[in-house]
Amino acid sequence: MTPLRPARLVKLLALIGLLSGTAVAQIDPRAQALLDGFQKSFSHLEGTVPEDVTSMDLTLCFTFFEAGEAQPESCTRMVMDRANHRLMQELRMTVEGDAGPEEHVITTVYRDGQLMMRDSTVGEAFELPESQLEVLEATFESIFDEFAEMQAAFPEAFERATYDGEVDYGGVLVGEQVTATMPIPNFMTGGAAVQERAVRLVFGAQGRLIGSVIEAPEGDLVMVYDDLEEAPLPIVNHTLYRLEGDTALIQARTRVTHVAFNEPLDDALFELD
Protein backbone atom coordinates (compact mmCIF):
# COMPACT_ATOMS: atom_id res chain seq x y z
CA MET A 1 0.00 0.00 0.00
CA THR A 2 1.42 3.38 -0.99
CA PRO A 3 1.92 5.49 2.15
CA LEU A 4 -0.53 8.34 2.54
CA ARG A 5 1.84 11.29 2.81
CA PRO A 6 0.78 14.54 4.50
CA ALA A 7 0.38 16.42 1.24
CA ARG A 8 -2.02 13.80 -0.09
CA LEU A 9 -4.00 13.77 3.12
CA VAL A 10 -4.38 17.54 3.09
CA LYS A 11 -5.76 17.37 -0.44
CA LEU A 12 -8.51 15.08 0.78
CA LEU A 13 -9.38 17.28 3.74
CA ALA A 14 -9.03 20.60 1.99
CA LEU A 15 -11.16 19.84 -1.09
CA ILE A 16 -8.53 21.42 -3.29
CA GLY A 17 -5.09 19.77 -3.08
CA LEU A 18 -2.69 22.59 -2.52
CA LEU A 19 0.25 21.61 -0.34
CA SER A 20 2.41 19.27 -2.38
CA GLY A 21 3.53 21.67 -5.09
CA THR A 22 6.55 23.88 -4.87
CA ALA A 23 7.83 23.36 -8.42
CA VAL A 24 7.42 26.46 -10.56
CA ALA A 25 8.45 26.75 -14.21
CA GLN A 26 8.84 29.86 -16.37
CA ILE A 27 5.71 31.74 -15.37
CA ASP A 28 4.85 35.35 -14.61
CA PRO A 29 7.27 36.67 -11.95
CA ARG A 30 4.46 37.84 -9.66
CA ALA A 31 2.71 34.47 -9.87
CA GLN A 32 6.01 32.78 -9.07
CA ALA A 33 6.58 35.09 -6.10
CA LEU A 34 3.15 34.27 -4.67
CA LEU A 35 3.60 30.55 -5.18
CA ASP A 36 7.14 30.63 -3.77
CA GLY A 37 5.68 32.06 -0.55
CA PHE A 38 2.81 29.62 -0.61
CA GLN A 39 3.96 27.54 2.34
CA LYS A 40 3.83 30.55 4.67
CA SER A 41 0.13 29.81 5.01
CA PHE A 42 0.87 26.35 6.41
CA SER A 43 4.07 26.76 8.43
CA HIS A 44 2.21 26.20 11.72
CA LEU A 45 1.30 22.67 10.60
CA GLU A 46 4.86 21.41 10.26
CA GLY A 47 5.27 18.23 12.26
CA THR A 48 1.56 17.89 13.09
CA VAL A 49 0.83 15.20 10.50
CA PRO A 50 2.72 11.88 10.60
CA GLU A 51 4.92 11.02 7.63
CA ASP A 52 3.00 7.80 7.02
CA VAL A 53 -0.70 8.18 7.80
CA THR A 54 -2.32 4.76 8.22
CA SER A 55 -5.54 5.96 9.84
CA MET A 56 -7.51 9.16 10.22
CA ASP A 57 -10.46 10.17 12.39
CA LEU A 58 -11.99 13.42 11.16
CA THR A 59 -15.16 15.32 12.09
CA LEU A 60 -16.44 18.18 9.95
CA CYS A 61 -19.48 20.31 10.77
CA PHE A 62 -21.54 22.17 8.19
CA THR A 63 -24.03 25.00 8.36
CA PHE A 64 -26.01 25.35 5.14
CA PHE A 65 -27.92 28.47 4.17
CA GLU A 66 -31.24 28.82 2.38
CA ALA A 67 -32.07 32.30 1.08
CA GLY A 68 -29.38 33.62 3.42
CA GLU A 69 -30.85 31.92 6.50
CA ALA A 70 -28.68 29.47 8.44
CA GLN A 71 -30.07 25.96 8.82
CA PRO A 72 -29.35 23.59 11.74
CA GLU A 73 -25.75 22.43 11.79
CA SER A 74 -24.95 18.89 10.63
CA CYS A 75 -21.74 17.00 11.38
CA THR A 76 -19.98 14.18 9.56
CA ARG A 77 -17.43 11.91 11.20
CA MET A 78 -15.20 9.94 8.85
CA VAL A 79 -12.83 7.22 10.07
CA MET A 80 -10.39 5.85 7.49
CA ASP A 81 -8.41 2.70 8.26
CA ARG A 82 -5.97 2.41 5.38
CA ALA A 83 -4.12 -0.55 6.85
CA ASN A 84 -7.28 -2.69 6.84
CA HIS A 85 -9.06 -0.96 3.94
CA ARG A 86 -12.06 0.15 5.98
CA LEU A 87 -14.12 3.34 6.12
CA MET A 88 -16.84 4.54 8.46
CA GLN A 89 -18.90 7.65 7.88
CA GLU A 90 -21.49 8.93 10.35
CA LEU A 91 -23.77 11.84 9.48
CA ARG A 92 -25.64 13.56 12.30
CA MET A 93 -28.28 16.15 11.47
CA THR A 94 -31.34 17.74 13.03
CA VAL A 95 -34.68 17.09 11.33
CA GLU A 96 -38.20 18.19 12.15
CA GLY A 97 -40.12 15.29 13.68
CA ASP A 98 -43.69 14.89 14.90
CA ALA A 99 -42.66 16.07 18.37
CA GLY A 100 -40.33 18.81 17.14
CA PRO A 101 -36.63 18.79 16.19
CA GLU A 102 -34.88 15.44 16.58
CA GLU A 103 -31.47 14.02 15.75
CA HIS A 104 -31.18 11.86 12.66
CA VAL A 105 -28.08 9.65 12.26
CA ILE A 106 -27.03 7.83 9.09
CA THR A 107 -24.04 5.51 9.41
CA THR A 108 -22.21 4.05 6.42
CA VAL A 109 -19.53 1.36 6.68
CA TYR A 110 -17.29 0.15 3.85
CA ARG A 111 -15.26 -3.00 4.51
CA ASP A 112 -14.30 -6.16 2.64
CA GLY A 113 -15.33 -4.41 -0.57
CA GLN A 114 -18.93 -4.06 0.61
CA LEU A 115 -21.06 -1.14 1.74
CA MET A 116 -23.70 -1.19 4.47
CA MET A 117 -25.86 1.59 5.93
CA ARG A 118 -27.92 2.16 9.06
CA ASP A 119 -30.55 4.86 9.51
CA SER A 120 -31.48 5.81 13.08
CA THR A 121 -35.12 6.08 12.03
CA VAL A 122 -35.02 2.42 10.97
CA GLY A 123 -32.62 1.07 13.57
CA GLU A 124 -31.29 -1.89 11.61
CA ALA A 125 -28.54 -2.07 9.02
CA PHE A 126 -29.72 -2.46 5.46
CA GLU A 127 -28.27 -2.98 2.01
CA LEU A 128 -28.71 -0.42 -0.72
CA PRO A 129 -30.34 -1.11 -4.09
CA GLU A 130 -27.84 -2.59 -6.52
CA SER A 131 -27.76 0.50 -8.75
CA GLN A 132 -26.92 2.82 -5.84
CA LEU A 133 -24.60 0.30 -4.23
CA GLU A 134 -22.28 0.05 -7.23
CA VAL A 135 -21.87 3.83 -7.46
CA LEU A 136 -21.26 4.33 -3.74
CA GLU A 137 -18.90 1.38 -3.42
CA ALA A 138 -16.83 2.70 -6.32
CA THR A 139 -16.73 6.14 -4.69
CA PHE A 140 -15.63 4.79 -1.31
CA GLU A 141 -13.07 2.49 -2.91
CA SER A 142 -11.61 5.36 -4.93
CA ILE A 143 -10.72 7.29 -1.78
CA PHE A 144 -7.96 4.77 -1.07
CA ASP A 145 -6.43 4.91 -4.54
CA GLU A 146 -6.55 8.45 -5.89
CA PHE A 147 -3.79 10.12 -3.93
CA ALA A 148 -0.88 8.82 -6.02
CA GLU A 149 -2.47 10.02 -9.25
CA MET A 150 -3.13 13.45 -7.77
CA GLN A 151 0.42 13.66 -6.42
CA ALA A 152 1.87 12.84 -9.84
CA ALA A 153 -0.29 15.41 -11.63
CA PHE A 154 0.18 18.25 -9.17
CA PRO A 155 3.61 19.73 -10.04
CA GLU A 156 2.48 20.48 -13.60
CA ALA A 157 -0.34 22.63 -12.21
CA PHE A 158 2.11 25.25 -10.99
CA GLU A 159 4.05 25.07 -14.24
CA ARG A 160 0.88 26.24 -15.98
CA ALA A 161 -0.01 28.91 -13.41
CA THR A 162 -0.83 32.44 -14.59
CA TYR A 163 -1.01 35.75 -12.73
CA ASP A 164 -4.35 37.55 -13.15
CA GLY A 165 -3.84 40.70 -11.07
CA GLU A 166 -6.24 42.15 -8.51
CA VAL A 167 -9.70 40.58 -8.27
CA ASP A 168 -12.89 41.21 -6.30
CA TYR A 169 -15.53 38.49 -5.93
CA GLY A 170 -18.66 40.13 -4.61
CA GLY A 171 -16.71 41.94 -1.90
CA VAL A 172 -16.15 38.70 0.05
CA LEU A 173 -12.82 37.71 -1.57
CA VAL A 174 -10.47 40.49 -2.66
CA GLY A 175 -6.78 40.14 -3.49
CA GLU A 176 -4.21 39.06 -6.09
CA GLN A 177 -5.14 36.03 -8.18
CA VAL A 178 -3.15 33.15 -9.64
CA THR A 179 -4.92 30.59 -11.84
CA ALA A 180 -3.67 27.00 -11.98
CA THR A 181 -5.05 23.77 -13.40
CA MET A 182 -5.20 21.30 -10.51
CA PRO A 183 -6.10 17.64 -10.06
CA ILE A 184 -9.40 17.18 -8.20
CA PRO A 185 -10.38 13.69 -6.91
CA ASN A 186 -13.45 11.73 -7.95
CA PHE A 187 -15.30 12.13 -4.64
CA MET A 188 -15.39 15.88 -5.32
CA THR A 189 -16.40 15.82 -8.99
CA GLY A 190 -18.26 12.53 -9.48
CA GLY A 191 -16.38 11.95 -12.73
CA ALA A 192 -13.13 10.27 -13.67
CA ALA A 193 -10.75 9.16 -10.92
CA VAL A 194 -8.93 12.49 -11.03
CA GLN A 195 -10.09 15.44 -13.09
CA GLU A 196 -8.18 18.60 -13.89
CA ARG A 197 -10.00 21.82 -13.10
CA ALA A 198 -8.98 25.46 -13.34
CA VAL A 199 -8.69 26.81 -9.80
CA ARG A 200 -8.19 30.49 -9.03
CA LEU A 201 -6.09 31.06 -5.92
CA VAL A 202 -6.49 34.45 -4.24
CA PHE A 203 -3.74 35.88 -2.03
CA GLY A 204 -3.99 38.72 0.48
CA ALA A 205 -1.45 40.64 2.53
CA GLN A 206 2.08 39.20 2.79
CA GLY A 207 1.18 36.69 0.08
CA ARG A 208 -1.12 34.68 2.35
CA LEU A 209 -3.67 32.43 0.69
CA ILE A 210 -7.13 33.73 1.61
CA GLY A 211 -9.47 31.90 -0.78
CA SER A 212 -10.07 30.11 -4.05
CA VAL A 213 -12.62 30.03 -6.85
CA ILE A 214 -13.83 27.14 -9.02
CA GLU A 215 -16.08 27.48 -12.05
CA ALA A 216 -19.43 25.70 -11.80
CA PRO A 217 -22.47 25.59 -14.11
CA GLU A 218 -24.73 27.21 -11.51
CA GLY A 219 -22.24 30.01 -10.84
CA ASP A 220 -18.63 30.27 -9.72
CA LEU A 221 -18.02 28.83 -6.25
CA VAL A 222 -15.98 31.06 -3.94
CA MET A 223 -14.27 29.62 -0.85
CA VAL A 224 -13.15 32.19 1.73
CA TYR A 225 -10.77 30.64 4.23
CA ASP A 226 -10.59 31.39 7.92
CA ASP A 227 -7.21 32.40 9.33
CA LEU A 228 -5.10 29.44 8.23
CA GLU A 229 -2.64 30.00 11.07
CA GLU A 230 -5.37 29.08 13.56
CA ALA A 231 -6.82 26.13 11.65
CA PRO A 232 -6.09 22.54 12.73
CA LEU A 233 -5.84 21.68 9.04
CA PRO A 234 -5.34 24.06 6.11
CA ILE A 235 -8.22 25.26 3.96
CA VAL A 236 -10.84 23.29 5.84
CA ASN A 237 -12.48 26.03 7.89
CA HIS A 238 -14.13 28.20 5.27
CA THR A 239 -17.27 29.91 4.03
CA LEU A 240 -18.63 28.94 0.62
CA TYR A 241 -20.38 31.43 -1.66
CA ARG A 242 -21.97 31.13 -5.10
CA LEU A 243 -21.59 34.06 -7.46
CA GLU A 244 -24.73 35.40 -9.11
CA GLY A 245 -23.53 38.24 -11.29
CA ASP A 246 -21.56 40.51 -8.99
CA THR A 247 -23.34 39.24 -5.88
CA ALA A 248 -21.87 36.57 -3.58
CA LEU A 249 -24.62 34.40 -2.09
CA ILE A 250 -23.63 32.49 1.04
CA GLN A 251 -24.09 28.72 0.70
CA ALA A 252 -22.38 27.02 3.63
CA ARG A 253 -19.89 27.23 6.51
CA THR A 254 -17.50 24.35 7.11
CA ARG A 255 -15.35 23.79 10.21
CA VAL A 256 -13.24 20.93 11.49
CA THR A 257 -13.98 19.96 15.09
CA HIS A 258 -11.73 16.93 15.51
CA VAL A 259 -8.87 15.27 13.69
CA ALA A 260 -6.53 12.49 14.81
CA PHE A 261 -3.98 10.36 12.97
CA ASN A 262 -2.66 6.85 13.55
CA GLU A 263 -4.57 6.30 16.77
CA PRO A 264 -5.90 2.82 17.70
CA LEU A 265 -9.29 2.19 16.11
CA ASP A 266 -12.05 0.20 17.79
CA ASP A 267 -13.26 -2.58 15.48
CA ALA A 268 -16.79 -1.78 16.66
CA LEU A 269 -16.63 1.40 14.56
CA PHE A 270 -16.86 -0.77 11.46
CA GLU A 271 -19.68 -3.00 12.70
CA LEU A 272 -23.36 -2.32 11.98
CA ASP A 273 -24.75 -5.66 13.18
The pLDDT tens digits of the residues spanning 83-121 come to: 888 989 999 998 777 777 888 899 989 888 788 888 887
Q: According to the model, what pLDDT value does residue 21 have?
A: 38
More confident residue, 15 or 30: 30
Is the predicted pLDDT of residue 176 greater than 90, yes or no?
yes
> pLDDT-based confidence at 217, cuts 50/70/90?
confident
Average pLDDT rounded to a whole number, residues 181-188: 58
How many other C-beta atoms are found inside a 10 Å radius of the C-beta of residue 38?
Answer: 20
Is the predicted pLDDT of residue 177 greater than 80, yes or no?
yes
Q: Residue 146 and residue 153: Cα distance in Å, rounded?
A: 11
Q: Residue 133 and residue 150: Cα distance in Å, rounded?
A: 25
Q: 118 in helix, strand or coil? A: strand
Q: According to the model, what pLDDT value does residue 120 have?
A: 83
For the chain, the domains span 6-270
Is the predicted pLDDT of residue 231 greater than 70, yes or no?
no
> pLDDT-based confidence at 209, cuts 50/70/90?
confident
What does DSSP assign to residue 221?
A: E
Q: Residue 71 and residue 62: Cα distance in Å, rounded?
A: 9
Is the predicted pLDDT of residue 242 greater than 70, yes or no?
yes
Q: Is 47 exposed, middle or buried (0-12, 13-18, 19+ CB in 10 A)?
A: exposed
> pLDDT-based confidence at 161, cuts 50/70/90?
confident
Q: Which residues pair with 240 in a beta bridge?
A: 223, 252
> pLDDT-based confidence at 126, cuts 50/70/90?
low
CATH class of the structural domain 6-270: mainly beta
Average pLDDT over the chain, rounded to an integer: 76
Q: 153 in helix, strand or coil? A: helix
Predicted TM-score (pTM) of the model is 0.76
Q: According to the model, what pLDDT value does residue 232 have?
A: 62
> pLDDT-based confidence at 34, cuts 50/70/90?
confident
> pLDDT-based confidence at 8, cuts 50/70/90?
very low
Is the predicted pLDDT of residue 132 greater than 80, yes or no?
no
Q: Residue 42 and residue 6: Cα distance in Å, rounded?
A: 12
Q: According to the model, what pLDDT value does residue 227 have?
A: 76
How many other C-beta atoms are found inside a 10 Å radius of the C-beta of residue 48?
Answer: 12
Contact 204, 173 (CB under 8 A): no
